[in-house]
C-alpha cells in the first residue's frame, strides 16, 4: 500500500503516516477521511485568510473511488439557493464573481466542496467569518466543523478564464460592421463549473438567482425572470435574473449579444420570448413557426403545466449542438434561423419541440445517473416527434419511426446494438431507441394509462432526480400491467427488437404501402411500371413519390422518362428534389424540366440543380450562372459559394471579376463568419486547389476553434494540405507571429 505524508498546521489537522487507501475502505470514522481524499490530485494550495500552508501529497487515490466519496456530499449538505453577481469581461475572456450560497447541513462533516475548474479565489466566508479553504484545478474545499444546521451562507469571490462552457465569440478579432460578438454558455455534462463554482453532481438542485455585469450595448438573456437592468457606469450594465424553482447546475445558461425579440403567449398564458438578430427580422416567422402550437400541444399531451416562470429561445453563433435546454432559456444554433425557402429543407421545428420537451423531461425531473440518460433524451425525442405528428400528420410520424428503426436494426445486425439503460451509450441509443421504447410502451398499456402514468411520474418527482426503476414503478402502478417483458426487450436488451417494431409500423396504412412499393426494387422496370405509375397519381405522397424516383433513377428508357416527367409534373417539392439528387446524367429530353428546378423553393434543390446542369450542359453554363447570380441559400451560403466556385472555374465567364469573386470566397473563411460558412469556404477552396496565405491563416485559426466538429474538420484539412510540399512551406512561412496555441499546434503537425 502507498502511504501519505501531509504536513499541516495544527489550526487545521495533523496527519501522520497512514495507510490511507485501507482506511478509506474500512474505517468510516477515520477523522481525516474526507479531508485526505480531497488532496488526491497532487500538490495543492491550502489558503486561510490568516495563513497559507503547503501540503505535499505522496499518494494518488483512485479517481473513481474519489468521485464516489465526493458524490456522497449531497447526503451531508443541501444547497438551496445561490445569490450571485457574475461580471463578464469578454474582451479578455475573464469571469469574476461574488457568490452567496445558502445551504443546510444534514450530517456533521469536516469538509465541503464545490466543483470549480481552474479558478482563483479571494475572500471565502462561512456565515460571515473567515474560513479555511483549499483549491486545486478541479475543486474548492471548505474546511470546518460543520454540524447540523439550517440556512448557512457561504460567500465566495473568484476569478476564472474559462476555456470551455462559456464561449467568447469574435471578441478576439477587430470590430467591424460584419463582426457579430456574442457570449454564450453550454454546460451540459459537467461544464458550467468552468465559469461558476457549482455542482457537477446532477442531484444537487439549487435556485440560481444570478446577476450578470456585461458591457453596454448588448442584451443579456438568462434563466428566470429579468428583475432589473441597471447601468452601473458608462461601460457596464447589470442584468439581474430570478429563478423561482431549483434546478441542476448544468442547466444554468446565459447568452449576450445584440438581439431583438418578440413575445408570444401560450393558451395557458405563459410568455415565450423569441430572440433574433436585427438583420434577421424577416426570418422570425419561418424560424419560430408553430412555436405556440408546439407549446400548447406539449402542455396538453404531457398533462402538467409548463413548470417554469417563462420561456426564451436564443439563436447563437458557432453553437456546439443543435440546441440546449437550459431551464427556461433554450439556446440553439443560428444555422436554424431560416427564411421561408430554407424552411422547406431545414427548420427549427424538431429542435424547438425537443428542447421544449426537455423543460419537463430533464429539467423538471432529472436523471440520477448517466445510465438513465434516456429519461432525458428518449423522452424529449419522443415528445418532439408527437409534436411533429400534430403539425405534419401521422404519415410523417411513422416515417420518422421507420427511418430510425432502419438505423437501429442495421447497428443491431452488426452486433453493435446497445441496451438503453446503460452508461456511455450512443446518441442513436438514448434518443431514437428511447423514443421507440416509449412508442411501444404506449401501444402496450394504451393511451389513457400512458398519459396518466406520465402525469403521475412528473408530479411525484417534480424538481427531483429519478431512475429508470422509479419510472417503471409509476407506470406499473398506474397501468396495473406487468412490464417485466417490456423492460427486458426495450431497456435491457442490446439488440433492437425489429420484429416488434415492424409489427407496430405496419399498423400504418402508409407504411404498409411504402413497404410494398419498396419491395419492388428487385423487379425489372417493365414488370413494375404500372405500380410505379399509380404511385405518382395526384396528389403524390412525399415518401412514395421519392421511392418511385429512387427506383427509376438509373434507367434511361422511354418508360423511365415518362415516369420522371410525371414526377416532375407532380409539383411535389420533395419528389422533384429527389429527381435531381438521384439522376446523375440528365437526359436531353428532360433538360427543360431540370432547368425548371432552379425556380423551386428549396436551396438544396437549387444547389444540386445548378451543379448538375453546369456539369451536363457546358454550352449553357453562362445562362445558368447568370440566372443564379443573386441566390445565397442557407445560413452557410451554399448556393452562393457554389456559384462563386463555378464562376472561377468556368473559362471565359466574367474573367474580369475573378479576382473579386475569389476574394469573396476567401473572405468567407475568415473568423468573422460562423463556422458553418467557414467550413463551406474551406471545402470549395480546397476543391479548386487555391489556398492563399490568408486562407491558411484562417485554417490555422479554425484548428483551435471551440466547436470540436469544426476544429476536427480543420485539422483533417490541415493534414491533407501538409502532404503538399508547397502548402507545407507556406505554413512554415506564416508560422511566425502566431499566438501560442496556433503555433504549438502547427509545429506539432510540421514535425510529425
Q: For position 290, what pLDDT does the model report? A: 98
Q: Confirm if 401 and 439 have CB atoms less than 8 A apart.
A: yes
What cell does 745 get?
Answer: 499546434
**Residue 13: pLDDT above 80?**
no
Pairing of strands 109-115, 94-105: unpaired
Percent of all residues in the chain with a pLDDT value above 70, rounded to a whole number: 90
Q: For the segment 369-424, what is each residue's pLDDT rounded down to a tens digit? A: 999 999 999 999 999 999 999 999 999 999 999 999 999 999 999 999 999 999 99
How many other CB atoms sit within 10 Å of the CB of residue 465? 20
What cell does 333 get?
Answer: 444554433
CA 708 centroid distance within chain: 12
**Residue 652: pLDDT above 90?**
yes
Element housing 521 (H / E) = none
**Residue 272: pLDDT above 90?**
yes
Q: Confirm if 312 and 259 have CB atoms less than 8 A apart.
A: no
The sheet that has 44-47: what strands, in order across it?
Answer: 52-55, 44-47, 132-135, 139-146, 109-115
Angstrom distance (rounded) from CA 265 to CA 296: 10
**Residue 643: φ, ψ to 5°:** -60, -45
Angstrom distance (rounded) from CA 144 to CA 152: 13
- Mean pLDDT across the stretch 274-290? 98
**Residue 706: pLDDT above 80?**
yes
**SS3 per residue for 196-209:** CCECCCCCCEEEEE
Q: For position 70, what pLDDT does the model report? A: 58
Assess whether the previous peptide bond of 15 is cis (omega < 30° from 0): no
**Residue 27: pLDDT above 80?**
no
Range scoring the smallest mean pLDDT among 37-51, 222-236, 388-402, 675-689: 37-51
Q: For position 750, what pLDDT does the model report? A: 82
Residue written as cell 462561512?
Answer: 126
Q: Confirm if 372 and 421 have CB atoms less than 8 A apart.
A: yes
42, 575, 635, 686 from 570: Cα distances, Å: 70, 8, 29, 38
DSSP state, residue 429: I
Angstrom distance (rounded) from CA 381 to CA 439: 11
704 or 47: which carries more pLDDT confidence?
A: 704
Q: For position 747, what pLDDT does the model report? A: 85
- Mean pLDDT across the stretch 91-116? 97
| pTM for this predicted structure | 0.91
- Mean pLDDT across the stretch 13-36? 33
The 3-state DSSP class for residue 726 equals helix
Q: For position 260, what pLDDT does the model report? A: 98
Q: For the segment 545-582, what is each residue's pLDDT rounded down to a tens digit? A: 999 999 999 899 999 999 999 999 999 999 999 999 99
Range scoring the smallest mean pLDDT among 133-142, 621-630, 632-641, 740-749: 740-749
Angstrom distance (rounded) from CA 466 to CA 454: 13
With cut-offs at 50, 70 and 90, classify the pLDDT of residue 71: low
Residues 6+ apart with CB under 8 A from 581: 604, 608
Q: For position 636, what pLDDT does the model report? A: 97
**Residue 425: pLDDT above 60?**
yes
Q: For the segment 540-555, what is each residue's pLDDT rounded down to a tens digit? A: 999 999 999 999 998 9
How many other CB atoms sit within 10 Å of the CB of residue 92? 9
73 or 639: which carries more pLDDT confidence?
A: 639
With cut-offs at 50, 70 and 90, classify the pLDDT of residue 685: very high
Q: Confirm if 69 and 24 have CB atoms less than 8 A apart.
A: yes
Q: Confirm if 313 and 330 have CB atoms less than 8 A apart.
A: yes
**Residue 394: φ, ψ to 5°:** -70, -30
**Residue 662: pLDDT above 50?**
yes
Q: Confirm if 212 and 239 have CB atoms less than 8 A apart.
A: yes
**Residue 28: pLDDT above 50?**
no
With cut-offs at 50, 70 and 90, classify the pLDDT of residue 447: very high
Q: Confirm if 354 and 405 have CB atoms less than 8 A apart.
A: no
233, with CB counted inside 10 A (0-12, 13-18, 19+), is: exposed
Sign of CA dihedral 580, 674, 163, 738: positive
- Mean pLDDT across the stretch 449-467? 98
Residues 6+ apart with CB under 8 A from 751: none
Comparing C-alpha atoms, which of 596, 528, 519 is closest to residue 563?
528
**Residue 202: φ, ψ to 5°:** -65, -20
What cell does 448 get?
Answer: 389513457
629, 643, 647 from 624: Cα distances, Å: 9, 10, 10
How many other CB atoms sit within 10 Å of the CB of residue 663? 11
38, 471, 479 from 194: Cα distances, Å: 19, 32, 44
With cut-offs at 50, 70 and 90, classify the pLDDT of residue 43: very low
Radius of gyration of the chain (CA): 29
Sign of CA dihedral 598, 604, 608, 614: positive
DSSP 449-503: HHHHHHHHHHHHTTTEEE-HHHHHHHHHHHH----HHHIIIIII-SS--HHHHHH
DSSP 268-337: T--EEEEEE-GGGGGGHHHHTTTHHHHHHHHHHHH-S---SS-EEEEEETT-SSSEE--TTEEEEEGGG-
With cut-offs at 50, 70 and 90, classify the pLDDT of residue 74: confident
With cut-offs at 50, 70 and 90, classify the pLDDT of residue 253: very high
Angstrom distance (rounded) from CA 669 to CA 186: 25
Range scoring the smallest mean pLDDT among 13-17, 463-467, 496-500, 701-705: 13-17
What cell does 161 get?
Answer: 478564464
Comparing C-alpha atoms, which of 420, 594, 396, 398 is closest to residue 493?
420
- Go through 115-133 and write b for each residue having 16 or more CB atoms within 10 A of its CB, e for each that does not: bbbbbebeebbbeeeebbb
Range scoring the smallest mean pLDDT among 29-38, 60-69, 137-146: 29-38
With cut-offs at 50, 70 and 90, classify the pLDDT of residue 51: very low
**Residue 79: φ, ψ to 5°:** -80, 130
What cell does 285 get?
Answer: 416567422
**Residue 63: pLDDT above 50?**
no
Q: Confirm if 717 and 686 have CB atoms less than 8 A apart.
A: yes
**Residue 215: pLDDT above 80?**
yes
Angstrom distance (rounded) from CA 399 to CA 395: 6
With cut-offs at 50, 70 and 90, classify the pLDDT of residue 67: low
Q: For position 584, what pLDDT does the model report? A: 94
Mean pLDDT for the chain overall: 91
**Residue 29: pLDDT above 90?**
no
Q: For the segment 329-383, what is each residue's pLDDT rounded down to a tens digit? A: 999 999 999 999 999 999 999 999 999 999 999 999 999 999 999 999 999 999 9
Amino acid at each position: 500500500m502507498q502511504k501519505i505524508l501531509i504536513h499541516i498546521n495544527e489550526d487545521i489537522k495533523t496527519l501522520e503516516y497512514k495507510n490511507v487507501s485501507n482506511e478509506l475502505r474500512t474505517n468510516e470514522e477515520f477523522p481525516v477521511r474526507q479531508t485526505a481524499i480531497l488532496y488526491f490530485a497532487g500538490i495543492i494550495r491550502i489558503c486561510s485568510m490568516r495563513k497559507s500552508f503547503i501540503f505535499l501529497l505522496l499518494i494518488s487515490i483512485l479517481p473513481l473511488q474519489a468521485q464516489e466519496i465526493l458524490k456522497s456530499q449531497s447526503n451531508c449538505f443541501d444547497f438551496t439557493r445561490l445569490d450571485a453577481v457574475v461580471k463578464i469581461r469578454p474582451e479578455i475572456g475573464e469571469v469574476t464573481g461574488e457568490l452567496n450560497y445558502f445551504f443546510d447541513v444534514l450530517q456533521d462533516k469536516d469538509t465541503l466542496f464545490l466543483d470549480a475548474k481552474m479558478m482563483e479565489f479571494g475572500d471565502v466566508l462561512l456565515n460571515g467569518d473567515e474560513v479555511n479553504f483549499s483549491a486545486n484545478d478541479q475543486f474548492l474545499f471548505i474546511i470546518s466543523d460543520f454540524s447540523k444546521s439550517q440556512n448557512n451562507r457561504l460567500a465566495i469571490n473568484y476569478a476564472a478564464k474559462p476555456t470551455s462552457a462559456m464561449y467568447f465569440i469574435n471578441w478576439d478579432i477587430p470590430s467591424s460592421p460584419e463582426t457579430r460578438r456574442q457570449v454564450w454558455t453550454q454546460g451540459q455534462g459537467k461544464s458550467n463549473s468552468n465559469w461558476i463554482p457549482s455542482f457537477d453532481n446532477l442531484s444537487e438542485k439549487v435556485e440560481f438567482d444570478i446577476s450578470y455585469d456585461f458591457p453596454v450595448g448588448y442584451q443579456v438573456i438568462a434563466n428566470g425572470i429579468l428583475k432589473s437592468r441597471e447601468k452601473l457606469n458608462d461601460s457596464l450594465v447589470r442584468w439581474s435574473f430570478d429563478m423561482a424553482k431549483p434546478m441542476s447546475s448544468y442547466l444554468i445558461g446565459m447568452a449576450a449579444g445584440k438581439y431583438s425579440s418578440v413575445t408570444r403567449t401560450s393558451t395557458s398564458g405563459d410568455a415565450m420570448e423569441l430572440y433574433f438578430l436585427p438583420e434577421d427580422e424577416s426570418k422570425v416567422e419561418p424560424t419560430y413557426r408553430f412555436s405556440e402550437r408546439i407549446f400548447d400541444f406539449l402542455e396538453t399531451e404531457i398533462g402538467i403545466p409548463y413548470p417554469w416562470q417563462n420561456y426564451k429561445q436564443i439563436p447563437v453563433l458557432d453553437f456546439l449542438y443543435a440546441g440546449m435546454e437550459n431551464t427556461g432559456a433554450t439556446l440553439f444554433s443560428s444555422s436554424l434561423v431560416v427564411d421561408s425557402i430554407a424552411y422547406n429543407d431545414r427548420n427549427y421545428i424538431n429542435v424547438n419541440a425537443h428542447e421544449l420537451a426537455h423543460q419537463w423531461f430533464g429539467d423538471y425531473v432529472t436523471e440520477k445517473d448517466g445510465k438513465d440518460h434516456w429519461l432525458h433524451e428518449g423522452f424529449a425525442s419522443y415528445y418532439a416527434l408527437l409534436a411533429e405528428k400534430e403539425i405534419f400528420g401521422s404519415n410523417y410520424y411513422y416515417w420518422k419511426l421507420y427511418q430510425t428503426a432502419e438505423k437501429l436494426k442495421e447497428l443491431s445486425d452488426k452486433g453493435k446494438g446497445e441496451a438503453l439503460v446503460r452508461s456511455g451509450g450512443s446518441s442513436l441509443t438514448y434518443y431514437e431507441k428511447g423514443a421507440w421504447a416509449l412508442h411501444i410502451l404506449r401501444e402496450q398499456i394504451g393511451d389513457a394509462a400512458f398519459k396518466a402514468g406520465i402525469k403521475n411520474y412528473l408530479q411525484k418527482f417534480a424538481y427531483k432526480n429519478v431512475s429508470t426503476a422509479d419510472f417503471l414503478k409509476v407506470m406499473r402502478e398506474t397501468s396495473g400491467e406487468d412490464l417485466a417483458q417490456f423492460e427486458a426487450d426495450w431497456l435491457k436488451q442490446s439488440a433492437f427488437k425489429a420484429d416488434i417494431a415492424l409489427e407496430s409500423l405496419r399498423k400504418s396504412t402508409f407504411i404498409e404501402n411504402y413497404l410494398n412499393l419498396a419491395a419492388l426494387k428487385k423487379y425489372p422496370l417493365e414488370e413494375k411500371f404500372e405500380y410505379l405509375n399509380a404511385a405518382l397519381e395526384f396528389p403524390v405522397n412525399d415518401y412514395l413519390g421519392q421511392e418511385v424516383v429512387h427506383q427509376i433513377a438509373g434507367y434511361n428508357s422511354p418508360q423511365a422518362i415518362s415516369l420522371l416527367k410525371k414526377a416532375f409534373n407532380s409539383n411535389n417539392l420533395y419528389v422533384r428534389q429527389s429527381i435531381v439528387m438521384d439522376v446523375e446524367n440528365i437526359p436531353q429530353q428532360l433538360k427543360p424540366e431540370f432547368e425548371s428546378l432552379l425556380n423551386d423553393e428549396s436551396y438544396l434543390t437549387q444547389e444540386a440543380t445548378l451543379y448538375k446542369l453546369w456539369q451536363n450542359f457546358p454550352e449553357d453554363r453562362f445562362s445558368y450562372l447568370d440566372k443564379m447570380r443573386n441566390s445565397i441559400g442557407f445560413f452557410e451560403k451554399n448556393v452562393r459559394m457554389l456559384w462563386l466556385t463555378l464562376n472561377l472555374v468556368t473559362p471565359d465567364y466574367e474573367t474580369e471579376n475573378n479576382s473579386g469573386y475569389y476574394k469573396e470566397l476567401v473572405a468567407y473563411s475568415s473568423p468573422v463568419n460562423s463556422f458553418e460558412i467557414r467550413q463551406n469556404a474551406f471545402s470549395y477552396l480546397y476543391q479548386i486547389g487555391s489556398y492563399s496565405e490568408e486562407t491558411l491563416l484562417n485554417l490555422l485559426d479554425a484548428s483551435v476553434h471551440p466547436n470540436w466538429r469544426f476544429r476536427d474538420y480543420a485539422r483533417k484539412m490541415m493534414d491533407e494540405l501538409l502532404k503538399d510540399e508547397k502548402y507545407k512551406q507556406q505554413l512554415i512561412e506564416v508560422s511566425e507571429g502566431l499566438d501560442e496555441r496556433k503555433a504549438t499546434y502547427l509545429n506539432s503537425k510540421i514535425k510529425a
